[in-house]
Amino acid sequence: MRVATITCHDVYNYGASLQAYALQQFCEQAGADYHIIDYKPDYLSQHFKLSVVANPRYNFPIVKQLYLLAKLPGRIRDLKKKRIFDNFTTNYLHLTSTRYHTCDDIRNSLPEADLYIAGSDQIWNTLFRNGHDSAFYLDFVGSRGKKISYAASFATDKIHKDADSFVSKMLRNFNEISVRETSALQLLSKLGQNKATLVCDPVFLLNRGQWIQLLKSTIQPKEDYILVYDCERSSKIRNVALKLKEQTSLPIYILSKTAGRYADKDFSLVGPLEFLSLILNARYVIANSFHATAFSIIFHKEFFIVNRSESINTRMHDFLSYLGIPDRIISTTTSLNLKPIDFIDVSHKLDFLINESKSFINKHLQLI
């Protein structure tokens, strides 16, 4: 049986790479001939380019050249991270032999499959361009195959930028829809989709042991530490990390560029496998990332989550509320509670969702 999935698999983001790998592994273990559609539109192809001006106010003659010159040393340094991610993609993700840049490109040279999956993570987030891209709604398939989504995420609790009619139209062509957040079920109901299924993120389809098997030659620190993964240089995360260090006397390891130099060790140039290893070996994890949260739960790590300034916190609120630990999302250092998480209770609730999710996928694989 042939399965082709489209997702944001190559955007130099730890969670994006690992969720793509997880769904691939689960489907292949079920016997599928599986490929990820290598889709790289222009708006997802700007990472690590030396000539990109990220802030439009600097995109003017002379100012642009000075901006690029100032950014050059850091961008050259960051190419190390790009190479590590590219190696992960080459070695672990099974991509189509053709790279596509538009929805029409895929439509005109459609990879043969019995089942097409709109994959996981924030593919339908209408705050970003991918949420407005018909490719991520499998529009290129037409009537030439069965179409489902697996753990697709809107990331927020509403459709943005007046895209309601577009999203509603795109979703009507699916044979079945599954999403990652409870809020997405309510959002879909407003769009006339009342039969969607709640499933877990693909990373939960693989167990702790399967993830650890990947980590034989990665970073294995010899001390306890606080791991920080901050997606937006948050001063709130910095304050929480320093407060936790004060309470525990543990060093701070950082996985990302930060607001101020407060970490004892910098691991901002590592790849997906090192990301996993650093969470596995941490004593505490502080983050504003869904997948840092997910792997903290998989590896039974004490963690604290800080809201992002972007309006994409719904996915973490929904998930932690479902697991009965909404208090892991904190807003101030005064709410820093070191009481251990009851992972027995969390695992009980999560196991039910994982089993339902596996049944959802297996049902579609076996119907072909």
* pLDDT tens per residue, range 238-266: 999 999 999 999 999 999 877 668 999 99
Nearest to 289 by CA among 205, 201, 223, 178: 201
Other Cβ atoms within 10 Å of 86 Cβ, number = 14
State the pLDDT at residue 314. 79
State the pLDDT at residue 50. 81
* pLDDT tens per residue, range 37-85: 999 999 999 888 888 777 777 787 887 788 778 878 778 888 999 999 9
The amino acid at residue 287 is: A
What is the C-alpha to C-alpha distance for residues 238 and 230, in angstroms, rounded to an integer? 9
DSSP 161: T
Please identify which residue in the block is written with the tokens 């995420």.
Answer: 153
Q: Which residues of the chain have pLDDT under 50?
A: 368
State the pLDDT at residue 67. 74
Kindly report the CA angle at 343 between 311 and 226, in degrees rounded to 5?
65
**Over the chain, what is the mean pLDDT?**
92
Strand positions, DSSP E, 17-61 = 33-39
Q: Dihedral angle at the C-alpha atoms of 228, 229, 234, 237, nearest 10 degrees?
A: -30
| Beta-sheet strand order (sheet of 146-149) | 95-100, 33-39, 2-6, 115-118, 146-149
Other Cβ atoms within 10 Å of 185 Cβ, number = 18
State the pLDDT at residue 22. 98
State the pLDDT at residue 229. 96
State the pLDDT at residue 311. 63
State the pLDDT at residue 259. 62
